[in-house]
Amino acid sequence: MEYRKLGNTNLELSAITYGAFAIGGNMWGGTEKKEAIDAIHASLDYGVTTIDTAPFYGFGLSEEMIGEAIKGKDRSSIQLLTKFGLVWDGSNKGKGEFFFDAEADGKKIPVYKYASKANVIKELEESLQRLGTDYIDLLQIHWPDNSTPISETMEALEQLIRQGKVRAAGVSNYSVAQMKEAAQTLQLASNQVSYSMLNRSIENDLVPYSQETNTGIIVYSPMERGLLTGKYFKESKLKNDDHRNGYFSQFDLEKVKAFLQTIEPIAKSKNASLSQLVLRWTTLQPGISVVLAGARNAAQAIQNAAAIDLSLSSEELQFIDQQLVKLG
């Protein structure tokens, strides 16, 4: 495994980080607790020392399972990354910015963006309890909250860092303009954003800005929620409550399928899977600090970790880029 310093912090994160959205179950067609915990254990065994989660993932379930999985392990060897700012239980008392209606057990659950100082502190304490720890390595706002001044949110993070409950603070899904505003109050460690072979818009402004300011970039959805593994084109049936039924509709699936067929020989020549090739390509892109990869069982976790061992030549990287240009 490769380990990388995150921006201006002293945090050393595994280049491939365990992304714990899917094990929460909501929006992913459910979860299986034993397999999820096995996946976390396998990740740790294979050098993935960093785990990224959020209270919203499974409405607390993801954090609880991680807490159970790491219980008794050397906490100093694990980096826990979590978030705040998505409220679903009505504790915001009508404040905040409505985001969307989530579904659980057939019921609609209104989710709000809410990042007031009081709520940041409240959510942090709840996350510490669920994760079974007394500090978070990186605490991130989950989505921008237009109802709360950015300075207020950053002041809360600054306070938590002073108290030793948080080692570093970052943002997620922030624009460059929002990052600049946040930086007036607090030096940001990172921005967690969506990035993949099919979604490279951050290369235009966010990557240059982050490189200029020594801010880390944490990437989620590098495999576009499984689309770039190629499995969808062979086993295309998804559960009815799986959000990917709608998510995949934004892509020209025939073009994506043809692109994957073009680059698959590179993976096969290295006895690797398409998902490993995609993950490794992502870790090698300029400005990218670490890449999140989800796994719902031990086998997937091991495969993700092994992707870092894949060696790609400059010619192979150039070929992939040429195919991406054709993909448009």
Encode pLDDT of 272-293 as tens digits. Answer: 999 999 999 999 999 999 999 9
Residue 243 covered by a domain: no
Contact 287, 16 (CB under 8 A): no
Q: Tell me, what's the pLDDT at 225?
A: 85
Strand pairing report for 216-220 and 12-14: unpaired
**Which whole number is the average pLDDT over 266-274?**
97
Residue 234 lies in a domain: no
pLDDT digits (tens, 9 = 90+) for 56-94: 999 999 999 999 999 999 999 999 999 999 999 888 888
Helix axes 253-269, 314-327, angle to 10 degrees: 170
Residue 187 to residues 42, 171, 255, Cα–Cα distance (Å): 34, 11, 41
Q: What percent of the chain has pLDDT over 70?
A: 95
Helix (DSSP H) and strand (DSSP E) numbers for the chain: 11, 13
Cβ atoms 81, 17 nearer than 8 A: yes
Catalytic residue of the set 3, 18, 46, 57: 57
Q: Give SS3 for 234.
A: coil
Residue 131 domain-assigned (yes or no):
yes
Strand, coil or helix: 274: helix
Does 9 fall in a domain?
A: yes
Determine the structural domain holding residue 160 and report its residue range. Answer: 3-226+275-311
How many domains in the chain?
Answer: 1
- The amino acid sitting at 101 is D
Q: Is residue 48 part of a domain?
A: yes
Specify if 69 maps to a domain.
yes
Indicate whether 185 belongs to any domain: yes
Chain mean pLDDT for the chain: 93
Q: For position 251, what pLDDT does the model report?
A: 86
Q: Which residue has the higher pLDDT, 237 or 161?
A: 161
Q: Are the C-beta atoms of 76 and 101 separated by less than 8 Å?
A: no
Q: Is residue 254 part of a domain?
A: no
Q: What is the CATH number of the domain that holds 139?
A: 3.20.20.100
Q: For residue 57, indicate whether it is catalytic.
A: yes
Q: Which residue has the higher pLDDT, 252 or 210?
A: 210
Percent residues over pLDDT 90 in the chain? 80
Instruction: Return the pLDDT at 28.
Output: 45
Q: Which residue has the tokens 């999140």?
A: 292
Assess whether pLDDT exceeds 80 at residue 21: yes
